[in-house]
Amino acid sequence: VQVPVKRVVLAKPEFADTIAQLGMADRLVGVSSINAIAVAPILERYRRGEVVEVGSGTHSAIEMALAVDPEVVFTFYSAFADSNTHPKLWDVGITGVPLADHFEPTPLGRSEWIKFVALFVNGERTADTMFAGLRARYEQLREVAAGVSTRPPVIVGWANSRQEWALNGGHNYFARMVADAGGRYVWDSPSMRSLDLADIEQIFHLSFDSEAWVGNQLGYRTLSSLVGSNDRLRHFGPVLRQQVFDNDGGRLPSGATPIANESLTRPDAVLADLIRILHPGLLAEPDLTYYRELPP
Amino acid sequence: MNGTTTVSVIPGTATRPSRAGAGVWWFPLLVAIALAAFVLELAIGAVRIPIGDVVTILLGGQGEQVTWSRIVLSFRLPRALNALISGAALGASGLVLQTLFRNPLADPFVLGIMHGARLGVAVLVVATGVAGVAFTQRFGEIGTWTLSAAAALGAIGVLLLMLAVARRVTTVTLLIVGLLIGYVCIGLISALLHFVDEVQARAFEQWEGGSFDGITSEQLLLMAPLLAAGLGLAYLLAKPLNALQLSEAYAGSMGVHVTRVRVLTFVCIGLLVGPVTAFCGAIPFLGLVAAHVARGVLQRSDHRVLLPAAALAGATLALVTDLVIHLPWAKHFLHLDAVIGMIGAPVALWVILRRKQMRALEL
């Protein structure tokens, strides 16, 4: 790849704010789905017709990507080989670059992927500055939470089907973030993956004493509608205690959520939300940025 | 039909002339396996609960830990009951469909009925998503009951289509129509799912993954009488189905109103398959395997005996496969369709290959 690249397609929305913060928005010519984008400069380029939707993972997506003639396509890296798009892109002569930030064991390690993306536009200095700032803010918050006297148990994820629960592995970056926020992640698996599957009765048992359920795009407006989707959830400890939070704060009418675009560039803000959820009153500013408490 | 030396002429299901009562000893064996699987379903799971506590909880007492009672009574017991009645319904439906179509490959999944249910849910998910407001803010108001209703409507839609066609074509053509409707549904589902986002896709997948898990007592109370009505109707159709095995012309000469039997059979299938698919998702293959097991072990073609056997085989297979799924696997997560294939296919193969006429069959 000849850097700096001038035409980029982003098929991993988690990096949308990274692209904007690195000053790459004007090089962006395609995204996998505009409904996953909540970053203003990218939405504006889409409205002007300078960014197109290319889809993801399908033959049509590859044809669409070919049509916009990108120098690089940033894609989601999957542990399941058949689910990856980058080999298919390579086959047709496009430089597909898989991004595997979601496998990182620490939140700051995950944010360092900003530096990798910056290499494609010679933006190392900008990335270093960004990373130094977010690291300082993150570590400051972590020190605040390190002094808590109790570590409330926390469950994350969602009911993925009638029988299974999907959640971050016990050694995934999000488990570390829960610990950094002064919580105890109850799913103690050795996995670094962003998606472990567990039997729902096991999660019920583990989470019964959990102070909070920190959901990931649960898709329900209220606790009653959440229970309406799966009756057994009514027995879960955090549901009984009405301590369920979803990261859909600031959702746009399209369905896009800011956290899905900004969690790499603002891990400190995500950490602050978790501290506010687990230790109310510990931070001066009480309002949540990305999370929302589900009302009854 | 004297029940002693009957010979089926359904391709692939032919039976040797046999003694009256041959294979009847399988009934208590299947009952014993089903009973054991049912008990183990309550005793074994991802969370280890001592058997003494399980018994205490079932007798109305409290387990040592507060979560154990809830796990046994709200997770495991409804699931086991669901596997029992849904498995029985799917087993009976597989047998009835194979007889109606005189084809050993017919079952609710192959014939597109379950794909119709899947299409109903896909249409609901997509329609809600494009209604102008983000789907995720609306899905909660939809809930499982609406998804189940959409699935039931989809399944009934396919059945009505086949009913409409049933009056005009032969049984073989009707089988092909069912297969083609299934393929159309599969294509439409695939096309529709291109228009959904991640959360919508998750809603579809949550419903679609066939499982006996997650059933509520209200849903069980709704299902049970419908399935009982379906099983009862199937039993009432036993004699006409016996006649249909030989040929429609023979059945007609025996006074069977073939078209009316077809219509009643579709109603029966709707009662048996609709509720199961609505509340459990698409469960492939179970009906097909159960029917072959029933025919194979009994080696008889009288539906008054075969129907209870197929229902029992279906219930047993459902309980055993569900038990395997919920064994405390450390690193793996098994799915129902895969386990039905792993357990059901070898059992069906063994039953089929035991029979000389099946080995010699050329389809």
B258-291 pLDDT tens trace: 888 888 998 898 889 888 988 888 888 899 889 9
Q: Which helix (H) or strand (E) holds A246?
A: strand A244-246
How buried is A32 (Cβ within 10 angstroms: 0-12 exposed, 13-18 middle, 19+ buried)? buried
pLDDT at B361: 44
Across the interface, do B213 and A162 touch by the CB < 8 Å criterion?
Answer: yes
Whether residue B341 has pLDDT greater than 90: no
Whether residue B80 has pLDDT greater than 50: yes
Q: In the structure encoding, which two tokens stand for residue B280, read together?
A: 């459990």
Across the interface, do B136 and A226 touch by the CB < 8 Å criterion?
Answer: no
Q: How confident is the model at residue B96 (pLDDT cuts 50, 70, 90)?
A: very high
Q: What is the CA radius of gyration of chain B?
A: 21
Which residues from chain B sit within 8 angstroms of residue A219, using beta carbons? 135-137, 139-140, 199, 202-203
Cα separation of A126 and A108, whole Å?
17
pLDDT at A183: 97
Whether residue B232 has pLDDT greater than 70: yes
pLDDT at B20: 53
Pick from A56, A161, A165, A167 the residue to mutate for testing the B interface (most B CBs within 10 Å).
A161
Pick from B66, B141, B142, B324 the residue to mutate for testing the A interface (most A CBs within 10 Å).
B141
Whether residue B250 has pLDDT greater than 70: yes
Interface of A to B at Cβ within 8 Å reads 33, 35-36, 55, 58, 158-164, 197-202, 204-205, 208, 217, 219-222, 225-226, 228-232, 235, 248, 251-255
pLDDT at A58: 56
The residue ranking higher by pLDDT, B346 or B130, is B346
Across the interface, do B206 and A221 touch by the CB < 8 Å criterion?
Answer: no
Average pLDDT, chain A: 92
pTM of the entire structure?
0.82
Amino acid letter for position B177: V
Across the interface, do A229 and B143 touch by the CB < 8 Å criterion?
Answer: yes
The residue ranking higher by pLDDT, B156 or A202, is A202
Q: Which residues face A158 on adjacent strands?
A: A166
How buried is B255 (Cβ within 10 angstroms: 0-12 exposed, 13-18 middle, 19+ buried)? exposed
Which residues from chain A sit within 8 angstroms of residue B47, using beta carbons? 201-202, 205
B143-166 pLDDT tens trace: 667 777 888 888 888 888 887 887
Which has the closest alpha carbon to A217: A157, A164, A276, A270? A157
Q: How confident is the model at residue B363 (pLDDT cuts 50, 70, 90)?
A: very low
Whether residue B17 has pLDDT greater than 50: no
Q: In the structure encoding, which two tokens stand for residue A164, read together?
A: 């299974």
Across the interface, do A248 and B136 touch by the CB < 8 Å criterion?
Answer: yes
**Among A146-150, B53-57, B133-137, whose mean pLDDT is lowest?**
B133-137
Across the interface, do A226 and B140 touch by the CB < 8 Å criterion?
Answer: yes
Whether residue B52 has pLDDT greater than 60: yes
A280-294 pLDDT tens trace: 999 999 999 999 999
Q: How confident is the model at residue B253 (pLDDT cuts 50, 70, 90)?
A: confident
Whether residue B351 has pLDDT greater than 90: no
Buried b (16+ CB within 10 A) or exposed e, B317-333: bbbbbbbbbbeeeeeee
Q: Distance from B30 to chain A by nearest Cα, in Å?
A: 26
Q: Any idea what DSSP says for residue A31?
A: E
Buried b (16+ CB within 10 A) or exposed e, B13-45: bbbeebeeebbeebeeebeebbeebbbbbbbbb
Pairing of strands A292-293, A244-246: antiparallel
Which residues from chain B sit within 8 angstroms of residue A204, using beta carbons? 67, 70-71, 75
What sign for the dihedral angle of Cα A185, A188, A191, A195? Answer: negative
Q: Distance from A70 to chain B by nearest Cα, in Å?
A: 23
A 10 A CB-CB count for A9 gives: 26
Q: Which helix (H) or strand (E) holds A73?
A: strand A72-76
Q: How confident is the model at residue B21 (pLDDT cuts 50, 70, 90)?
A: low
pLDDT at A227: 85
How buried is A270 (Cβ within 10 angstroms: 0-12 exposed, 13-18 middle, 19+ buried)? buried
Across the interface, do A251 and B137 touch by the CB < 8 Å criterion?
Answer: yes
Which has the closest alpha carbon to A242: A267, A217, A272, A277? A277
Which residues from chain A sit within 8 angstroms of residue B136, using beta carbons? 217, 219-220, 248, 251, 255
- The arithmetic mean of pLDDT across residues B193-220, rounded, is 78
| CA-angle at B9, arms to B6 and B15, nearest 5° | 50
Buried b (16+ CB within 10 A) or exposed e, B71-102: bbbbbbbbbbbbbbbbbbbbbbbbbbbbbbbb
Which residues from chain B sit within 8 angstroms of residue A230, using beta carbons? 144, 214
What sign for the dihedral angle of Cα A10, A13, A15, A18? Answer: positive
Q: In the structure encoding, which two tokens stand for residue A81, read together?
A: 């080989």
Across the interface, do B71 and A205 touch by the CB < 8 Å criterion?
Answer: yes
- The arithmetic mean of pLDDT across residues A72-100, rounded, is 87
Whether residue B131 has pLDDT greater than 70: no
Q: What percent of chain B has pLDDT over 90?
A: 32
Whether residue B130 has pLDDT greater than 50: no
Across the interface, do B136 and A219 touch by the CB < 8 Å criterion?
Answer: yes
pLDDT at B83: 97
B177 Cβ neighbours under 8 A, 6+ residues apart: B161, B162, B165, B169
Taking phi over 0 as left and psi of -120 to 50 as alpha, with beta for the rest, A77 belongs to beta
Which residues from chain A sit within 8 angstroms of residue B333, using beta carbons? 164, 197-199
Residue B302 touches partner A, C-beta closer than 8 Å: no
- The arithmetic mean of pLDDT across residues B54-70, rounded, is 92
pLDDT at B330: 56
The residue ranking higher by pLDDT, B191 or A99, is A99
DSSP A80-145: SGGG-SHHHHHHTT--EEEE-GGG-SSHHHHHTHHHHHHGGGT-HHHHHHHHHHHHHHHHHHHHHH
The residue ranking higher by pLDDT, B199 or A100, is A100
Q: How confident is the model at residue B10 (pLDDT cuts 50, 70, 90)?
A: low
Q: How confident is the model at residue A57 (pLDDT cuts 50, 70, 90)?
A: low
Which residues from chain B sit within 8 angstroms of residue A226, using beta carbons? 140
